[in-house]
Structure 1
Amino acid sequence: MAHSHTHPHSVDSPGADSHPGHSHGADSRGTPSHLAEMLDLDAEVLHEYHREVITWVGSLVTDRPRIVDLGAGTGTGTTALARQLPAAEITAVDLDESMLDHLRERAAALGLADRVRAVRVDLDQPWPELGPADVVWASAAMHHMADPADAVRQAFATLRPGGLFAITELDSFPHFFADPAGAALEDRCHAVLDALRAEAGLHMHEDWGARLTAAGFAIEAARQFRIELRPPLPAAATRYAQLSMERMRHGLEGRISADDTAALGRLVADLDGGRGDLTIRTTRMVWLARRPA
């Protein structure tokens, strides 16, 4: 998907299926493959959360739903929905053609290519005909929309009467260090990044409940998921933390003190050798809303 403007990748930490309003391009280490890896690791490391949400959504839809996945990214949500709902037909939309290629390859490898269609779409422009859909799925995608109210209205128009809109968003970005010094440094860094996201036009603190109601949706549920994974954690969690902290360091270059810059560099270096005290703490919000029948 695409915005008419560009949000720097370095200010947007992991957790998103994609960045719907712009091309993914290179991530903080200069290669698109690292962003794809980050998105895949989020699904792998936080698999219990993702499975619970997808099972929940799957229990609320028809047996043969038509689903539109907004900001599908590497396709972790698309393929999980396809496996949870074996008769579903899914249209996955994103702006970044490299991500869509990754998604197509994933779907083919899983034997899902006949039920998954990947389409390049700029969601900050009038949407092409994507419906009528039974479900519109937006995982960490809505905060990238240039005009959130318009995006919600277009989702409403895409759904059939009685259709379900599922929005998941990051309530807090992942934190990894439990020791007092590391945790305090993370808090300071996240505060600066939060200000940079607001400056870049990301709608991180949008009242999606109010947006949904204003567009004519009936809200069925709003639920916060508190995620806390404690050591020992698998190797994938260390890699997830490593990529996250490298992106953080890149995004904060020249924006934090020299002492904090040096301390952040040491934390990233520590992850190269692995840390036995690594944790993952984050919160996600989910809104489920219906277009009235």
Structure 2
Amino acid sequence: MAHEHPHTPHQGARHAPQGVADSGSQAEILDLDAEVLSEHIAAITAWLPVEAAPHEIVDLGCGTGAGTFVLLDRFPEAHVIAVDSSAEHLHRLREKACAEGVQERVHTVQADLDAADWPHLGTPDLVWASASMHHMADPHRTLRTVHDVLAPGGLFAVVELAGFPRFLPDDAPEDRPGLEERCHAAGERRHAEHMPHRGADWGPMLTAAGFAIEGERTLTVDIEGSRSAAVGRYALATLRRLRDSTADALSTDDLAALDRLLDTDSPHGILRRGDLAVRTERTVWAARR
């Protein structure tokens, strides 16, 4: 399972104009997400109510490793089994692990977590699932499986996002104010059909699966674009991806305005805006077996 929030499925997008034909890859967006939001991910791991430092951790739907590497930093004695359905993401994660000299502490497993039989994941002390649970076809079954995999007293951390991050002010762009919100509304209508558990309250579902909820916390993310050069690239890649999934649901004027924002050669393109920010929320549930 791949992480969710910056990437949507490619669905019959209209032909992209010159300058936006190459949509940002999912792996690129996940890497940018990790770079821009690293402090917030670290804050979540620091908050986790662990009773003792875990030695064995499973990262479900690890993507390219945003959570994996923060967990390795947070728990320096731990090993992580990183699980994802994407061979590309896992290859990228292994390359990063080698570059950071932690390859001996990471084991990657390619698996479809919707399958009836999971690969052997040991008996972890901590299972981490960031923006992956809402992708599951049967999340109730997944929760029960995680409960059975965990060591007695082990912790399950479910991290979910309120939705796609926002980057533009409400009155932007000048020729089509509110454009970003309309694009997100179109995307959310499609997500509601294919991913009904996005935005769910996972507390009752965790309790029903046999867990005891030990904490819930919502973190508000608001990062000014001036703090990181990656914010502009993150906005560009994310909105390109959003265009792919919503183009045929947008008005002609909105699509044209979005394409102007995504034109990297234009003086009015998103990379040249000085008013970008990253705004979103993340909620984490900490549940004990």
TM-score, reference length from structure 1: 0.86
Partners of 1:67 and 1:88 within 8 A in 2: yes
Q: Given the alignment of the two structures, is residue 68 of structure 1 paired with residue 66 of structure 2, yes or no?
A: no
1:267 match: 261
Alignment of 1:232-243 (within 5 A): 232-243=226-237
**Structure 1: 5+ residue runs without aligned partners?**
3-8, 20-27
Whichever residue aligns with residue 131 of structure 2, its letter is A
CA–CA separation in structure 2 for the residues paired with 1:172 and 1:149: 21
1:287 match: 285
Which among 132, 136, 141 is matched to residue 141 of structure 1?
Answer: 132
Deviation of 1:61 after TM superposition, in Å, equals 4.6
For the structure 1 residues 255 and 249, does the alpha-carbon distance in structure 2 shift closer, same or farther, using more than 3 Å as the test? same
Match of 1:62, SS state, is: coil
Percent identity for Structure 1 against Structure 2: 46
Q: Given the alignment of the two structures, is residue 110 of structure 1 paired with residue 108 of structure 2, yes or no?
A: no
Partners of 2:232 and 2:271 within 8 A in 1: no
CA–CA separation in structure 1 for the residues paired with 2:153 and 2:171: 49
Aligned residues: 271
CA–CA separation in structure 2 for the residues paired with 1:85 and 1:29: 42
* Structure 1 residues 173-215: Cα deviation after superposition (integer angstroms, max 9, x where no partner): 2111115144621111111111101222352122211110100
For the structure 1 residues 164 and 29, does the alpha-carbon distance in structure 2 shift closer, same or farther, using more than 3 Å as the test? farther
Partners of 1:71 and 1:139 within 8 A in 2: yes
Name whichever of 239-248 and 72-81 sits farther off: 72-81
2:154 match: 163
CA–CA separation in structure 2 for the residues paired with 1:13 and 1:139: 10
**Structure 2: 5+ residue runs without aligned partners?**
10-19
CA–CA separation in structure 2 for the residues paired with 1:40 and 1:143: 20
Partners of 2:222 and 2:277 within 8 A in 1: yes
2:203 match: 209
Name whichever of 228-237 and 37-46 sits farther off: 228-237
For the structure 1 residues 155 and 180, does the alpha-carbon distance in structure 2 shift closer, same or farther, using more than 3 Å as the test? same
Partners of 1:220 and 1:290 within 8 A in 2: yes
Match of 2:77, SS state, is: coil
1:51 match: 42
1:252 match: 246
CA–CA separation in structure 2 for the residues paired with 1:264 and 1:117: 41
Q: Which one has more relative contact order, counting CA pairs under 8 Å at least 6 apart? A: 2
For the structure 1 residues 290 and 249, does the alpha-carbon distance in structure 2 shift closer, same or farther, using more than 3 Å as the test? same
Which among 275, 278, 281 is matched to residue 277 of structure 1?
Answer: 275
Whichever residue aligns with residue 286 of structure 1, its letter is V
